[in-house]
Structure 1
Amino acid sequence: MHTQTTTGMTAEHYAILAERIENEFTWNRRRGRPRTLSLAGALQITLLYYRQNVTEQLIADVVGISQSTVSRTIAVVEAMLNVVVDDEQPDVDAALRGTTAVIDGTLLPCWSWADAPELYSGKHKTTGHNCQVLADLSGRLIHISDPMAGKHHDAHAFRETGLADTVNLSNTLADKGYQGTGMVTPIKKRPSEDHLPNYAKHHNRFVNTHRYVIERTIASIKTWRIFHTDYRRPLRTFRDAFNAVRGLIFFTRQKTNSA
């Protein structure tokens, strides 16, 4: 089942990931209840869950195990992934040295929990977590920030995640939601103006022409559908799942020996 379409991972990346887990952890316990699945099987269903965001019950029915076993397995593998793919993001300073950056925020949708009203995004009219995505002008993914409650606007999230202190503001393109941050953003028409001046039109055309790459980058991130459709597990598990998937996204973008 470890095909790239199903799990988001080539056979080479899958083998490397499994080897990292085997080197770091003992899967088959000497004491206690034996695990229902092999490490390979457990890793496969966890990747399937992240990549497709199907229900645990569907995975259970396909594999022939109980839903509770699927849930426990994902939690165990998730903790392991948070160790073995924890340090995959490149250093932002090094990756962007001398290069123009492009940034945008995106909402990672989730269920509407009654005790978490801060997740509601007025902009998107739904609940989720805001994260900031940074790329270069070629669309190469550089950084995915830690998530924040969906109520926060992009400019606030940009400052609070620390990216405002990391990127070269004068060499970073952003949309109107980031005006006032010091980055290069489109120019708004003033109330006293009937039309935008020509210089402002040229500026906006330049910014918008180059900003499209970040939309493409975000779309590629959301091929991991756990970032694209509602997160259904308990809210307390979101951060661990987010960290694991973020690590996997950067891990799968690395070249293997056969690449």
Structure 2
Amino acid sequence: MGAAIAARAQPDGYTFFVGGAHHAIAPSFYKGLTYDIEKDFVPVTLIAQPPQIIVAAPTAPFNDLKGLIAQARSQPGKLNFGSAGNGTSHHLAGELFKLQAGVDIAHVPYTGAGPMLLALMGSQVDLAFDGLGSSAQHIRGGKIKPLAVAASQRSSAFPDVPTAAEAGLPGYEVSTWYAMWAPKGTPQPIVERMYAEVQKALGSPEIKKVWLSNGSEVPRYTSAEFGKYLHEEVQRWAKVSRDAGIKAD
């Protein structure tokens, strides 16, 4: 709803829109959207780019990614993963994992990341694909088991957790990113001014400390680079949706 309202706002520099990775998923998952994330907005900048992390329940019988994949292959359909709901980045990350690992794992959607994590901590589901920021405190508290970070490099917040490639699944990279857009038609000088102000804020020691403590790198994309990244994400998740055969409820 927020995106639809922002898309219809006057492009006078008084309205900006902050969204995330789910807006790259929505075009291929939901029919009848009243906005186009690429055509109705001007990309301003990425704000945060925390990687997703594959986490397991405390009682899960596997402690690493190879163990998870081996069990999933030996017992197709027996394991399950929780998500924050159908069509969320958590859900699509799980579907991408299934496609790349060649495994059959049942999807259990919850009504948000909070209920999903509670179910995981209570061993009501076997694993989850979550943004590192929301899982961080539970990993540190020993309430869930980290298996692998879905990034090209290890997280500075959890240097002992291997990347998916190191753990046995090369090419598996997913980010729960957040970004800012302006309505289409917003004057370029205003977009450039907002970009500069956001970059200044992201460069502050306070923001860097908070971002890094939650496993998020501080992104350094120009507006044009973010636009290219967004397009690639839209195309990527459209393919995953098609290949996995998933649809909205």
Q: Scaled by the length of structure 1, what TM-score is found?
A: 0.26
Q: Structure 1 or 2: larger helix share? A: 1
Q: Structure 1 or 2: larger strand share? A: 2
**Bigger relative contact order, structure 1 or 2 (CA pairs below 8 A, ≥6 apart):** 2
Q: Scaled by the length of structure 2, what TM-score is found?
A: 0.26
